[in-house]
Structure 1
């Protein structure tokens, strides 16, 4: 895998996950799957989609916003568990000095904007199928200027998609591209669910796994990457986030994780899988994909705003991977 060029020189100035995935038939794992909020967005990993929504809301209202999502604050206000969370930086004690709603929220804003640009570049090459794995409260089908013949497949649990749809319906929001919810748990037969609603493996596609993989056991991540490879053809693209730390608990007292636990009661380290991580970028390269791996801080420097390295940094091991399939 390569860590040389940043994908696209014109990166400029939105997860996000709410499910856990485990391999289905033919795959095995030695790590038990944790049950984390089976129904909707109010528990376990599901609650992290609300955390990201609040971060996107704060980012949206900044004067130097890296990404805009006008729907994000409505998700936060619609969920009783987080109705008192901030949706503007002015509502945050210590403002940008707050490790959670300042620095961490800025990280989510940066990640959103970078993946927005990745998606725009992909559809710019003629790709018309978008797959959001663990879509959560992602609203790219509504807020991005996608071609009208583009189809956005949103895979997540029925309860998550129902919550999102209710909020968007109340706002009379209309998607800018064709949006196809795929209500299925990624622990189930999501491949059949996806292909049965019109996804065509023979046509190029772009996939986003935003903030998903580090919640999965290593074998489940490998299964997901192998499945994406099997469902894609030349001209397809994939972006995902990975973590490289050998010992996540070494960062337990980092400001970001501490603030997240104390301010909103979400213990991310308890939700992350602590087992060995696979080299998914390397696996993709071996399958004929061109890959590039970057730290978030590279994009901070490129755009002139966002998080930079700090001591005892919970973001130190985060990597953003961008892959393009160059042969069948």
Structure 2
């Protein structure tokens, strides 16, 4: 996934560019009067990357506003997802006493800077060197201050990230909360299974995990979905070309078999809970999306 711009930021093509898509969505959500989540750093990533030049960071910059499948409905989905996963992480650290937070494929995640963490918390951010360097350059330019200790782990998840995490100070004898947000879509089935198995091995009792998957019999069924076609047309990202097409493993079942408790939810459940977010529609590219929350008692 080498960059095509004059300098390699790690977010200039392929899966890396989807981090900018999420950042733009978070920026739009941040500026809504009824925002579910706020990320004041998000728009600065969008403005700093050549690949996202001209993308909106406010809904007012979108001519058809919320009617736009990409910057309306899809962006609202990312805003809802951000809020739900924020809540899960904060509940894990404040209620369960966890102090290690591991972001798998962290991308342009700024939770270390924008969430209120308990004292002695440490956030491990695992992603490729170029992606983390781009993020750090933007945040340093803003003089951003983290609200927890941060441990960037510059490693590709296809390499030995377990060793790199250990070298960064991760304590496998202490409970941890893990997050794989917008990651597993792009991994082959065996890579997803290996990652989930590694998380299990590294998690002691009291740990927690949240991740997102797509459970579809055939992704190509939604090739003509407004969400996918508008994303390709407006910003040149063909998500279906990036997603792994093979049948997905039953990762929730695998965790359950290892003693975890796991619950699987549709995003629409949280739309109803919060009163904002996407609802089901015809030819819906979000129909197979699931959010999984697991705990290791």
With normalisation by structure 2, the TM-score equals 0.97
Partner of 2:158: 187
Question: Deviation of residue 148 (structure 1)?
Answer: 2.7
Paired residues, what number? 292
Q: Does 1:74 align with 2:48?
A: no
Q: Does 1:54 align with 2:13?
A: no
Q: Is the 8 A contact 1:242 1:318 kept in 2?
A: yes
Distance in structure 1 (CA, Å) of the matches to 2:83 and 2:3: 28
Q: In structure 1, list runs of 5 or more residues that go unmatched.
A: 1-34
Distance in structure 1 (CA, Å) of the matches to 2:110 and 2:48: 15
Q: Deviations over 1:207-228 (max 9, x none)?
A: 0000100100000000000000
Question: Deviation of residue 75 (structure 1)?
Answer: 0.2
- Alignment partner of 1:220: what SS? helix
Q: In structure 2, list runs of 5 or more residues that go unmatched.
A: none
Partner of 1:292: 263
Distance in structure 2 (CA, Å) of the matches to 1:253 and 1:73: 29
Q: Deviations over 1:204-252 (max 9, x none)?
A: 0000000100100000000000000000000000000011111101101
Q: What RMSD in Å do the two structures reach over aligned CA positions? A: 0.9
Distance in structure 1 (CA, Å) of the matches to 2:52 and 2:3: 15
Q: Does 1:108 align with 2:111?
A: no
Question: Deviation of residue 37 (structure 1)?
Answer: 4.9
With normalisation by structure 1, the TM-score equals 0.88
1:1-328 alignment runs, 5 A limit: 35=1, 37=3, 39=8, 40-124=10-94, 125-326=96-297
Structure 1: which 4+ aligned runs deviate by more than 2 Å? Answer: 35-39
Q: Deviations over 1:258-312 (max 9, x none)?
A: 0000000000000000011000001000000000000000000001010000000
Distance in structure 2 (CA, Å) of the matches to 1:233 and 1:309: 38
Where relative contact order (Cα < 8 A, 6+ residues apart) is larger, the structure is: 1
Distance in structure 2 (CA, Å) of the matches to 1:269 and 1:36: 20
Distance in structure 2 (CA, Å) of the matches to 1:249 and 1:188: 30
